Structure 1
């Protein structure tokens, strides 16, 4: 836990440069995992995110566990300076990572010190359980899941777009009520979580 560095975002990528440059330097090579969005025909936000990262001075390369073998994915994690896990459907993301045999490789790399940047679904999947996201993402759209246990990199489940920008405020309020027995962190689009050295800090997003 003390060696991990995670930046968890709801929407905007503004904090990425200040998070990443002190850790891996300017011009770092970011492995971009687009998996959460692969079930959607419109993936315009992925191009926006790639463009934002490049505008911040980073090299961006896709690392897609749905398109390569587990061994190739694992090797790719060793050839990047940081990993970026995009938004989309968190249930599909988790199911696809497991189906590809990529979940453990990703967790192991992050626990060994590979900086992790997750936005929306990419933030949600890091927690102990993605079940509380069922009111925001449709589990029926996902790759088959036998368990909603997340990657367990952190001990809370991030609920993004906490001001209701995706799906409306009613879904956020229902999530708060129906999953009160879970440890939830409601993250607004203008916020980010930094987990580093065993400490969690909320910063402007």
Structure 2
């Protein structure tokens, strides 16, 4: 696998992908033909134009996968794939509908560079169960691409001790997930990402990540931490991921 999984594509006060642009351009092949998957947002053309404006100055050719009559064939003609953020339920539903769920999983397994941000990063995990998104549509299954054997929670937020909000914190929600499922969850804060190269994985970016496992307190992972051991995870979901 060759994966770059970003927590977010837009950082406060900066342009689209600007906070990670050096990492993104180093990850993508030189003069890459990039297949962009815009299905997490409703306006596919505008979303693709935004990605194009961010990456084409670096010599990357961006084509929205929706622009091809056959999205699977468009993927096959590309040097890399980028699945953007938005609503994870809408995105996954579209991946099933277009045949891209199987096609992307097979292509990434064969070495096609896969980049995700937010919802696109959620897709790399085994299931949708640790997304933050509202289920605005119902996909055929919660099963995503399974490019890594553990769960990811992009946009991870730490509890605010000064907050008067009485709803669950992100940590409490992930703890509830672990009560029902025995699989690690990597919380990626804004500005952080996960890089996977073959059997090696590390967290990187401007902020540390947070690792949640059943029966243990959460663990902080500084930028640059090796998390290759997570790739050997044998996840157990206590109920079907449907």
What band does the TM-score fall into relative to the shorter chain? 0.7 to 0.9
Larger Rg over CA atoms: 2
1:59-70 matches, cutoff 5 A: 59-64=61-66
Query: What CA RMSD, in Å, does the superposition of the two structures yield over aligned residues?
Result: 2.5
Aligned length: 185
Aligned partners of 2:78, 2:68: CA distance in 1, in Å? 16
List gaps (5 residues or longer) in structure 1: none
Q: Is the 8 Å Cα contact of residues 37 and 43 (structure 1) preserved in structure 2?
A: no
Kindly indicate whether residue 134 of structure 2 is the aligned counterpart of residue 138 of structure 1.
yes
Q: Name the residue aligned to 1:54.
A: 56
Equivalent runs, 1:78-89 vs 2, <5 Å: 78-89=76-87
> How far apart, CA to CA, are the structure 1 residues paired with 2:36 and 2:51?
9
Matched, 1:174 2:172: yes
Per residue, is there more helix in 1 or in 2? 1
Q: Which runs of 5+ in 2 are unaligned?
A: 10-16, 159-164, 207-242
| Residues 18 and 187 (structure 1), Cα distance of their counterparts in 2 relative to 1, 3 Å cut | same
- Name which structure has the greater RCO, CA cutoff 8 Å, separation 6+: 1
Match of 1:16 in 2: 24
Does the alignment pair 1:151 with 2:145?
yes
Judge conservation of contact 1:91–1:138 (CA < 8 Å) in 2: yes
Is 1:7 equivalent to 2:9 in the alignment? Answer: no
Distance 2:98 2:47 in 1: 24
How far 1:18 sits from its partner (Å)? 1.8
